[in-house]
Structure 1
């Protein structure tokens, strides 16, 4: 093949390795990439689609949402160390959420006298030259590497993507200076085989046998999960196990739908609520499947003699300095593979059918009672105001099988799950991390990957401002990926206030009227989106306004416009 620049080879290799989108915030280190993109356009060669992102955190959040919705890694391009730092909390979210994303950053040119093509020719090339650019994000990356020559670039990219996509998944970081990107190298093809992730791990026979024994002997077993549903087929496998053995499932800080909420074995989700879960307190066998924080020991924990089994795609949690569970058996294994093994093992055994049926009736009754309690909370408020529960119930009427919800409700995380009552695997996404501002970019990325789906971002007023809505909605209009944002507006940062009160309710914090968390005077959130992206927008505060506003918002979506519904749901 004819020679080409390393930049052209980079773009060609990403295309050959299955990357569809380049979420880019470009700078002085990227002229070789821009030249390669334009040459390909002139010649009609296919390359990943360039998505211009005015903000780097939005770019990575969009790649995050895109990867979750499509199950495939995407790429982010940023400008040297400045752009790397501007990725901000999205780096944390991608790492903690175990999302495969390839981040590529330029680097200041290596030469300053014109020795090589691409040598320094702007003052910032000295200012942006730092000792350890990779060190800015190394603690969050599964792999990082500086590309020094183009001759082995396809192999380097394949290795990076293989590491990103192998369990536990996560982001990877590559960089190259301009001289390297301008270097001419022989034409090469990437080999997708080298990028294939490692095969999933199965349970060892000894643990499989012990776990099957424990579940058959248990009087009150319980399953806890948080992110098993990242693989939709694992949801059905969990459903088969919980149905066969009549084992209730509780979610702890879920970042996806792990069991349909209408399944009789589903018994809710718990986040930071300072209450003991009664099912966890009574369980004699607890199976933890893919969960970083299955319970918070200071307020909610299993009984002391409970037998705990732990199966996780990331069982050691090596990225977390302090973490332990106390399980008698723990395995780093693929949840779907483990559940299929367990299902086959249980089919070979005589089961305690009478005990299982008694338990099934009891759990189904608890599920029905929970549904009644949730329905009571959804009643239209008598004072004419809007509660989060009522808002979610109204929104639920507009949800269909193709709806995807990006949940960044923060203090309303559990409310969203409880009252939207989603049932389709893959219909609920959350960042999996703790850096706010994810939902706007993520919803845009979901819309790019799943055109035709109804995409809804649910967030607080604080997380909406964190999301850089001016960039998000400009991108949504430019790339025709509209989505609905519903803001649970309580006038400020409610979650930090709740954290402070949890420790100091009887102290000065509890007596204070203003903790510096109010957003008064209130921003016009909808106007930001309208000005930046031509979005439909409205602010409401009365219950009788909810249904008309939702109808108008979804009508705007049907016309190809993004929509922002700013809902006053109480005061801080």
Structure 2
């Protein structure tokens, strides 16, 4: 039985598990909105007042639900506003399907107002972009988009859909959904187990693929089977290994020289689900020290050997591959050897954590707070089962050293670097997992970039605690400027005094200013009891 194009699209969205549509509409979306309003059990429309917030909400929602999210943008201008979020989603491998309404095809040749080459505009920021020109192609294009969005490497897929296409009287057929067969364990695990099992000083780099594929428990089993020290990949987007575990050695810094130094003590490393050590600042030389035996495991075949050679390159689903690798290692590494390594690593890492704790506690004072004290107060105040959405460029690095989390999905960041993501991502995450407290830890500059997301937080009454770390500057630029030998002050980096409680009030959100570190810790602890959003303005020392 055939369906009109707009109804067919809604039918496919429901079949793909879409229960919310994130959007900011314009005239080219009106035919789709009409179908949405007249269709029982249609997905809920979540309005954002800027497309950056729209895509960030969809990003957070996709991560929280572990399925592709759907977003609807408006023509060239709306797509352009959403590009920063699409770039983030592509870098973070977040599965999204995004459409934008194109102008009516009957006058496209006349270059009507607001039109543009949507596919050309979207292509650099997405995994794939397509122009749908015929109503009978729309159902197949949507099915393909959802399938492609989750196929490794996951990412956003874009479709341009002319507004008049939805109004066509054509009856279109809906192709049945074909579930993708899951990847199995990688081939070659026996060789990987032989290499890792023979190591005297083994290490593991836990990449974001571990968190995305729910393979954290499997990686813990692998690490414990051989007593390997575990580092998070640089600027990790997910919790890929419990930060409470005695084998956890912290995050690798995002510079080749620092990564090389951190990995020099080891003779063999398993790199699981990591995007090839993407650095932030340039430093000469390779990321890996000479003589290091590398085992690389990923669900994306393009990652294997991409930036460094591997003695064993394995392609397969991470969780079953790591579970199997753990079993093989238990036959190769004597239990006393593994337990001894775990004990020694735990002693070193506990000492390191105690030093960081002492330094942070010593920095406690009334506001304005020292960055260490603010990070410590947030880390110690987090409620059980909290989700941290972090977009705090400088204090975020300190927070990573202090935070104690062990549940998958407890930490969310974007390595994409497009500022303004955090507020919307936190709203989307709270909509996806309403039973978990959500704490958004934000820099003041990042907050300014994404301020419009507070409107959606107020409209949806999402119980998110927004912690704004307010130092009145682009501090990461100032620090980098000084590290590069810059003289004097760095132009264009001073924001000046800002009162974010007033910004929150404008959007109808309750707000409070932290008086001291203990007050901040109490406010964070209260996130578990929120029934609506609350913003905490945290003055920091300059």
TM-score by length of 1: 0.87
The 1:435–1:524 alpha-carbon spacing in structure 2 relative to 1, beyond 3 Å, is same
Give 2:147's aligned residue: 162
SS in structure 1 of the partner of residue 394 of structure 2: helix
Give 1:309's aligned residue: 295
Displacement of 1:410 in angstroms is 1.3
Q: Does 1:236 align with 2:217?
A: yes
SS in structure 2 of the partner of residue 560 of structure 1: coil
The 1:494–1:456 alpha-carbon spacing in structure 2 relative to 1, beyond 3 Å, is same
Choose which of 167, 178, 202 in structure 2 pairs with 1:221. 202
Q: Distance in 2 between matches of 1:138 and 1:342?
A: 38
Choose which of 492, 499, 515 in structure 2 pairs with 1:516. 492
Give 2:275's aligned residue: 292
Superposed CA deviations along residues 94-139 of structure 1, whole A, max 9, x for unmatched, are 1011111000111111114xxxxxx99xx9x712233x32011112
Give 1:526's aligned residue: 501
SS in structure 1 of the partner of residue 295 of structure 2: strand
The 1:460–1:442 alpha-carbon spacing in structure 2 relative to 1, beyond 3 Å, is same
User: What is the alpha-carbon root mean square deviation over aligned residues?
Assistant: 2.6
Displacement of 1:67 in angstroms is 0.4
Displacement of 1:411 in angstroms is 1.6
Choose which of 442, 446, 468 in structure 2 pairs with 1:459. 442
Q: Distance in 2 between matches of 1:316 and 1:57?
A: 29
The 1:139–1:426 alpha-carbon spacing in structure 2 relative to 1, beyond 3 Å, is same
Q: Distance in 2 between matches of 1:448 and 1:66?
A: 7
Q: Does 1:421 align with 2:426?
A: no
SS in structure 1 of the partner of residue 38 of structure 2: helix
Give 1:75's aligned residue: 70
Choose which of 493, 512, 523 in structure 2 pairs with 1:538. 512
Displacement of 1:501 in angstroms is 2.8
* Unaligned ranges ≥5, structure 2: none
TM-score by length of 2: 0.92
Displacement of 1:357 in angstroms is 3.8
Displacement of 1:53 in angstroms is 1.2
Q: Distance in 2 between matches of 1:362 and 1:228?
A: 28
SS in structure 1 of the partner of residue 321 of structure 2: helix
Question: Is contact 1:491-1:518 (8 Å) kept?
Answer: yes
Displacement of 1:382 in angstroms is 6.0
SS in structure 2 of the partner of residue 287 of structure 1: strand
SS in structure 2 of the partner of residue 223 of structure 1: strand
Give 2:166's aligned residue: 181
Q: Distance in 1 between matches of 2:498 and 2:181?
A: 48
Question: Is contact 2:501-2:513 (8 Å) kept?
Answer: yes
Give 1:502's aligned residue: 483
Q: Distance in 2 between matches of 1:56 and 1:383?
A: 39
Displacement of 1:473 in angstroms is 1.6
The 1:209–1:547 alpha-carbon spacing in structure 2 relative to 1, beyond 3 Å, is closer
Displacement of 1:480 in angstroms is 2.1
Superposed CA deviations along residues 16-74 of structure 1, whole A, max 9, x for unmatched, are 2211111111111112112212221xxxx211111111110110110000000110111
Question: Is contact 2:87-2:416 (8 Å) kept?
Answer: yes
Choose which of 232, 254, 263 in structure 1 pairs with 2:236. 254
Displacement of 1:366 in angstroms is 1.1
Displacement of 1:550 in angstroms is 4.5
Displacement of 1:226 in angstroms is 2.8
Q: Distance in 2 between matches of 1:359 and 1:295?
A: 29
* Unaligned ranges ≥5, structure 1: 113-118
Question: Is contact 2:239-2:409 (8 Å) kept?
Answer: yes
Deviates more, 1:382-391 or 1:137-146: 382-391
Q: Does 1:137 align with 2:122?
A: yes
Give 1:115's aligned residue: none
Q: Does 1:379 align with 2:361?
A: yes
Choose which of 44, 51, 68 in structure 2 pairs with 1:49. 44
Question: Is contact 1:283-1:303 (8 Å) kept?
Answer: no
Q: Distance in 2 between matches of 1:547 and 1:64?
A: 28
| Alignment map for 1:21-420 (pairs within 5 Å) | 21-40=20-39, 45-112=40-107, 126-130=112-116, 132-186=117-171, 188-193=173-178, 196-200=179-183, 202-205=185-188, 208-231=189-212, 233-252=214-233, 253-272=235-254, 275=258, 279-294=262-277, 296=279, 298=284, 301-317=287-303, 324-347=307-330, 349-381=331-363, 384=366, 385-420=368-403
The 1:145–1:352 alpha-carbon spacing in structure 2 relative to 1, beyond 3 Å, is same
SS in structure 1 of the partner of residue 99 of structure 2: strand
Q: Distance in 1 between matches of 2:483 and 2:286?
A: 15
The 1:382–1:76 alpha-carbon spacing in structure 2 relative to 1, beyond 3 Å, is closer
SS in structure 2 of the partner of residue 453 of structure 1: coil
Question: Is contact 2:22-2:58 (8 Å) kept?
Answer: yes
Q: Distance in 1 between matches of 2:378 and 2:44?
A: 33
Q: Distance in 1 between matches of 2:51 and 2:23?
A: 8
Question: Is contact 1:282-1:302 (8 Å) kept?
Answer: no
The 1:427–1:442 alpha-carbon spacing in structure 2 relative to 1, beyond 3 Å, is same
Question: Is contact 1:284-1:303 (8 Å) kept?
Answer: no
Displacement of 1:436 in angstroms is 1.3
Q: Distance in 1 between matches of 2:197 and 2:430?
A: 44
The 1:282–1:295 alpha-carbon spacing in structure 2 relative to 1, beyond 3 Å, is farther
Question: Is contact 2:377-2:518 (8 Å) kept?
Answer: no
Deviates more, 1:178-187 or 1:265-274: 265-274
Superposed CA deviations along residues 117-162 of structure 1, whole A, max 9, x for unmatched, are xx99xx9x712233x3201111232222222222343222111101
Q: Does 1:562 align with 2:533?
A: yes
Displacement of 1:309 in angstroms is 1.6
Question: Is contact 2:388-2:438 (8 Å) kept?
Answer: yes
Residues matched between the structures, number: 536
Displacement of 1:378 in angstroms is 2.6
